[in-house]
Structure 1
Amino acid sequence: MDQARARYADGSARLSPDQAAVAVSVFGVAVGFELAAEQRRVVERLLTAGHGGDAVIGVAGSGKTSLMEACRIGWDATGPTYAGASLSAIAAQNLQEGSGIPCRTIAAWLQCIHDGAGLAGLDVLVLDEAAMTDDRSMAVLLTEAARTGTKIIAIGDPQQLQAIGPGGGFAEVHRLVSGETLAVDRRQRDAGERAALQVWRTGARDQALNLFADRGRIHATDSADDARRGILTAWNQTRTRYDDAHDMLDNLVVLAARNHDAALLNTGAQALRRAAGELGRAHRYALPGGDALTLAVGDVVRVRANDYRSRRGTGPDVLNGYRAVVTDIADDHRAQITWRRKNSDGKARTAQAWLSPGQITAGALSLGYAMTIAASQGLTTDTALVYGLGANAYALYPGITRARTANHLWLPAAALEDPETRARLGEPRDETELLDRALEAYIALLRQDRADAMVSDQFRAAPEPVAPAPQVADEPAYLPKIAPPAPASAVITRVIPSSERRVGGVCLGRVQCGGLLLLPHA
């Protein structure tokens, strides 16, 4: 992490305070609400401080994508080239659609570096969900950025899903450069949930879960089967609010920590719909290892493999993570899926694609009524139904922050309690005792979880930050409002629509990697 310290205040991609202020003003006019005070503070630092490496911690629902759109407006007007990096293709597209920043996967950027093109010609690289980036990948990106003079902006949350492999690098960069923090939750509409999540972040997870329980958000059952049945019952009732399948996908999600539990919930949801006569023509596809997948017209599915069809001129990209509806099954067993995404202006668009039987049997699709918490990272919905067994603290927190209106958690007491405790206390006598014991057992498991830390800290004292930590003032709850018209300015004259977006006002053709241009998706 020496690059982060060495490049502090090196002048990378620095805008003037006036240019940053106008970017914030134009953002408010374009999207219809003003950035909150802490968001403005972060945008001003990212645009004007000129740090070669910077980091922002943002709690779930703090509006990280919004502030990056404001930064993009500033870069568009003043010239720096920019791009984004995310762990998955769907996360990359989410960042691109939400902020206007063209984005690729971290794996693609690492391949660029390996092939020699690297980050040459790129002034700013935004690293999204940076806490999930392993330290080896982080080190490669930081080293290459130092070579090319590219500013790295890492955005993430150490209290959410952790890296697969050695982690802790993002939190260390944030500490070394005394990065900013977005502390206000702007997603949860329920004051009780917001309060509970704020308590969670202090480390008092037991108090936070008890606050959730007081709001009726935690449901204790005796067995794991009972918990899954409870989730499916709630899902079956809640989905009746939505006449359109895509509306249901946008507003309702079922989550579990483990693939096995997500698969059981998917099978149960499909069975409920089949029993209700809601599914049409079906076909059973053989999968590797002797498993099988039955799909029917009307089923909800999740794409599990990237297919970049736009590069071949054969249709829209079908990306790993899309949730879609099966709208046809042909006589040759090809399956047509239809999905819905939002344009940069917030309007919905639908797209379709046919998948061959070979693609499906190779694992390109799975049922999509339920998904893992890891797969839901970056998703915002209206109601989330979460199966808690198997989720550690860093999976549970993103799971219970996905929904704006209500996040519900199911806990199976018998599966959480150790056999000795179960034998000593016997069967719970009533629902109150059942809930208390499920919470107690779950909290005991969560206390064992520890945040990622730098391996190097085991061998030497951690280096001192290069600057004092910023002072964060208390901020009132977020209330969106329409921004007043911005004054005319020669610094920024208009917002660049998605159809015209360039990298820093310069055609993206100047930033190439392996012959591919960093162009936004159509």
Structure 2
Amino acid sequence: MILDEAGMARTDDFAQLVDLAEQHQWRLVAVGDPAQLPAVGRGGVFAHWCDTLPHHRLDTPRRFTEPWEADASLALRDGDPTAADTYGEHGRLHSIHPALVAAAIADVHQAQVGRGRTVAITTNTADMARTLNTEIQRRLDRHDPRRHRSDRRTLADGTHVVVGDTVATRRNDPSFLTDRGDPVRNRHTWNVTALIADGSLTVTHPDRGTVTLPGGYVDRHVELGWAVTGYGNQGDTVDIGLAILEPGTTRNHAYVALTRGRLANNAWIPDPIGIADPATALAEIIDRTPRASSALATQAALHRAAGVEAPWGLGRERPAQTRTPLKPDRPNQTSPPAPPTPALSELDEKVAAMQARFDRLQGAPTRETPDLDRGLSR
């Protein structure tokens, strides 16, 4: 079982997948980049696995046409603020007044699409994405009068859609399958090919195929999709990447937004005063990361803070001799026994030492060793 974009998986979802893998003796292969956007909700499991378990790392970017951009993307990923200077020196960073962002992005989008290039526009917020989408649609209406005479379908956020527009679906629904058998998923983008009288939309994608979305789904879960947030673009590869790095943008978001394009990636940084250096602004973003920590990673940090070695399952790599696959490679192969559980007294001592360390830091009196068996049935 392969889980792509594993960094965006919530802890609860990961737990269910691990349970399924154990029940069915499957191998679970998690693929992704822990430096990209984290899960919406509790997450951090994939990043913790990358920190503590053996894994394979692909560290040679092959997406970019320009070698310098491949190197800059790795520096950005690793939190090196000098990456901002590299992007700036190559003319990829632009400071702009917030009121002019939509027009500037729409101009660039129109020019690049006119040259036959694919474009990904990545924002930090849904509000900015809606503003950009509305402006792009307005430009299309202005340059193609036939669109004014076309049927229109109003969407949930008050915008409208006509044939030829790009939309995004915002809810997984495996009951809707394309003619190629692909299910409709959250954040997929599509081109609208038909508006049906009952409110349905027929949409298509060159890789996924064509599907008709029922009116009820369109009412609640479809929006314009030229510009989307980083979570919508994270898995995409296009010709040109356009990023809007709004206030509050983190390194994870900037890393995703500035690495979608093969030929070029540009970033616009809103500046209401007009005096900010865009390279300095990006360097500050690079220093800002919200990398999620799983409960296990947090426990490991607490062990380290107390000066106590964490069990292998928390903050350090599992011993090689106990590392076994979920499913034996051969029918008669048996897995070696699990590592022995430390004696209760040893755990008591570790917990007491950790608590004493915290108490000293907080100026609280030292507590007695807790009874770990309290409340447990015997």
Category of TM-score, reference length = shorter chain = 0.7 to 0.9
Q: Does 1:220 align with 2:95?
A: yes
Write the distance in 2 (CA, Å) between the matches of 1:382 and 1:446. 24
The one-letter amino acid of 2:193's match is T
Aligned match of 2:106: 232
2:164 to 298, 303, 316: 298
**Which of these residues, 237, 240, 251, is aligned with residue 393 of structure 1?**
251
Query: Quick one: distance in 1 between partners of 2:20 and 2:175?
Result: 30
**Aligned counterpart in structure 2 of residue 274 of structure 1, from 141, 160, 167:** 141
Matched, 1:439 2:268: no
Q: 2:205 pairs with 327, 339, 346, which one?
A: 339
Determine the structure 2 residue equivalent to 1:262.
Answer: 129
Matched residue SS, 2:31: strand
Q: Does residue 367 in structure 1 map to residue 234 in structure 2?
A: no
Which residue does 2:269 correspond to in 1?
411
Q: CA deviation at 1:445?
A: 4.3
Deviation for aligned residue 1:284: 4.3
Residue 164 (structure 1) aligns with: 40
Q: Quick one: distance in 1 between partners of 2:46 and 2:135? A: 39
Match of 1:208? Answer: 83
Q: CA deviation at 1:157?
A: 1.3
1:448 — aligned with what? 288
AA matched with 2:318 = V
Q: Return the alpha-carbon distance in structure 2 between the equivalents of residues 145 and 238 of structure 1.
A: 45
Pairwise CA distance, 1:165: 2.8
The one of 51, 65, 71 aligned to 1:195: 71
Distance 1:171 1:385, change over 3 A: same
Query: Which of the two has higher C-alpha Rg?
Result: 2
The aligned amino acid for 2:65 is: R
**C-alpha contact 1:228 1:387 (8 A) present in aligned 2:** no
After superposition, the C-alpha distances for 1:1-24 in whole angstroms (9 at most, x for unaligned) are xxxxxxxxxxxxxxxxxxxxxxxx
1:131 is displaced (CA, Å) by: 1.8
Corresponding residue SS for 2:159:
strand
Q: Which one-letter code corresponds to 2:86 in the other structure?
A: L
Kindly provide the amino acid, as one letter, of the partner of residue 281 in structure 1: S
Structure 2 alignment gaps of length 5 or more = 305-309, 321-378
Partner of 2:300: 457
Structure 1 CA distance for aligned equivalents of residues 27 and 194 of structure 2: 47
Q: Secondary structure at the match of 2:57?
A: strand
- Does the C-alpha gap of structure 1 residues 145 and 300 become closer, same or farther in structure 2, counting only changes over 3 Å? closer
Cα 1:309–1:403 shift into 2, 3 Å = same
**Cα distance between partner residues in 2 of 1:180 and 1:378:** 19
Matches within 5 A, 1:21-60: none
Query: The residue matched to 2:38 in structure 1 has which SS?
Result: coil
Q: Superposition pairs for residues 75-224 of structure 1, below 5 Å?
A: 125-204=1-80, 206-221=81-96, 223-224=97-98
* Contact 1:192-1:215 within 8 A present in 2 as well: no
Greater Cα offset, 329-338 or 192-201: 329-338
Q: CA deviation at 1:444?
A: 2.6
CA contact (8 A) 1:254 1:369 kept: yes
CA contact (8 A) 1:256 1:391 kept: no
Can you list the C-alpha shifts for 1:448-506, whole angstroms capped at 9, x where unaligned?
324323221243244432368xxxxxxxxxxxxxxxxxxxxxxxxxxxxxxxxxxxxxx
Question: Could you tell me whether the CA contact under 8 Å between 2:177 and 2:211 is conserved in 1?
Answer: no
SS of 1:163 mapped into structure 2:
coil
- Say whether the 8 Å CA contact 1:283–1:333 is kept in structure 2: no
Aligned-residue Cα RMSD (Å) equals 2.9
The unaligned stretches of length 5 or more in structure 1 are: 1-124, 243-247, 343-350, 415-421, 429-433, 469-522
Mapped contact 1:286–1:292 kept (Cα < 8 A): yes
Q: 1:61 aligns to what?
A: none
Paired AA for residue 321 in structure 1: R
Q: Is the 8 A contact 2:3 2:30 kept in 1?
A: yes
Q: 1:322 and 2:165 equivalent?
A: no
Q: Scaled by the length of structure 2, what TM-score is found? A: 0.72
Query: Does structure 2 retain, via aligned residues, the 8 Å contact 1:392–1:449?
Result: yes
Kept after mapping to 1: 8 A contact 2:92/2:266: yes
The match for 1:378 is 235
Following TM superposition, by how much is the alpha carbon of 1:145 offset from its aligned partner in structure 2, in angstroms? 3.1
User: How many residue pairs get matched?
Assistant: 306
